[in-house]
Amino acid sequence: MRRALACAAVLMVAPALAQQKNQFADYQRMTAEGSPVELFELGGEELWKKPQGPKNASLEKCDLGKGPGILKGAYAALPRYFKDAGRVMDLETRLLHCMMTLQGRSREEATKQLFGNADRPSEMEYLSAYVAGHSRGAKMAPGASHPKEKESYQLGKALFFHRAGAWDFSCASCHGAQDKRIRMSALPVLSAPKFARPLIATWPAYRVSNSQFKTMQWRLNDCYRQMRMPEPNFASDSMVALNMFLATTAKGAEYRGPGTKR
């Protein structure tokens, strides 16, 4: 259900006050220190180990890029090219791949409830929290050497700046210039490493405003909704490319683990 949105009307340019930038620092610190995020990691652990699908297999042999079942640091090295799939994949795309290949589940079944709600989080949300949690402290370093990885980055970059849809918006419309905000939330310039790093280093994340754990595929999907673009396909090349662009722009940042946001 697409909600009517008046936000574009309140997209503002705020004066560059040093105070403005930090006014939520205490709030963000204190909410992160007491956040339900770990409960989602716990839920993800259960799902990772749970045999499911026609093959009655768990995800424990899923290769997230570091080898079958290796979780440590895997998220920080995504997106990357996977030879067995012949394409660049981000976390959720790879999880879906493992659900289909290891567990034998159909794409339709595995993607039936991609984005959950406060009462019923989705498998992807739990699993994303669990996997991302294992990259705490790792330096973000998505794939950059394979030609497909470079191609994905270029596509993501082009998409970031491409204006389209009913309102002629691009990601850069909100995330392309400094000191913009939507109501009280600052809009970081995501095409600049300096501003992208602290942000990308804290996704996926628990959102206190609706008590839900949100993933990057959700974040992109929701941005597209807010831009009045057609709904993107889950795990499509273009969505992976946007994630690749963002992760590459943020590369070198220390991954903080699944975050807590307003």
Partner 1 sequence: MMQRRGLLKAAGALLLAGLLKPFAALAAWNKEAFASKSSADAMKSLGSPSAEASGGIVIEAPQIAENGAVVPIEVTSNIPGTTSIAVLVEKNPYPLVAKFDFTEGALPFVKINAKMGETSDVRVVATAGGKHYQATKEIKVTIGGCGG
Partner 2 sequence: MAGPMKMRATLASGYTDVRVLMTHPMATEQQTKGQPHFIQNLEVKVNGKTVIEGQISQAVSRNPVFSFRLKGGAKGDKIEVSWLDNKGDTNKTETAVA
List, by residue number, the catalytic residues: 223
> Which residues share a beta bridge with 11?
182
Nearest distance, CB of residue 98 and partner 2, angstroms: 23
According to CB under 8 A, which residues from 183 to 212 bind partner 1? 183-185, 208-211
In angstroms, the Cα distances linking 79 to 131, 209, 242 are: 13, 28, 10
- 38 is an interface residue for partner 2 by CB under 8 A: yes
> Site for partner 2 (CB under 8 A): which residue of 7, 12, 42, 184?
42
> Site for partner 1 (CB under 8 A): which residue of 3, 83, 108, 120?
3
- 47 is an interface residue for partner 2 by CB under 8 A: no
The span from the CA of 163 to the CA of 172, in Å, is 9
CB under 5 to 8 A by kind: which of partner 2, partner 1, none does 101 bind?
none
Q: What is the spatial order of strands in the sheet that 212-214 belongs to?
A: 212-214, 205-207, 259-261
The span from the CA of 106 to the CA of 175, in Å, is 36
CB under 5 to 8 A by kind: which of partner 1, partner 2, none does 42 bind?
partner 2
> Site for partner 2 (CB under 8 A): which residue of 119, 145, 147, 183?
119
Strand 205-207 and strand 259-261: pairing?
parallel
Helix (H) or strand (E) holding 47: helix 37-49
Tell me whether the omega of the peptide bond preceding residue 204 falls within 30 degrees of 0, making it cis. Answer: yes
Binding residues vs partner 1 (CB under 8 A): 3, 5-7, 23-24, 26-28, 30-31, 33-34, 182-185, 208-211, 226, 262
Binding residues vs partner 2 (CB under 8 A): 34-36, 38-39, 42-43, 118-119, 208, 211
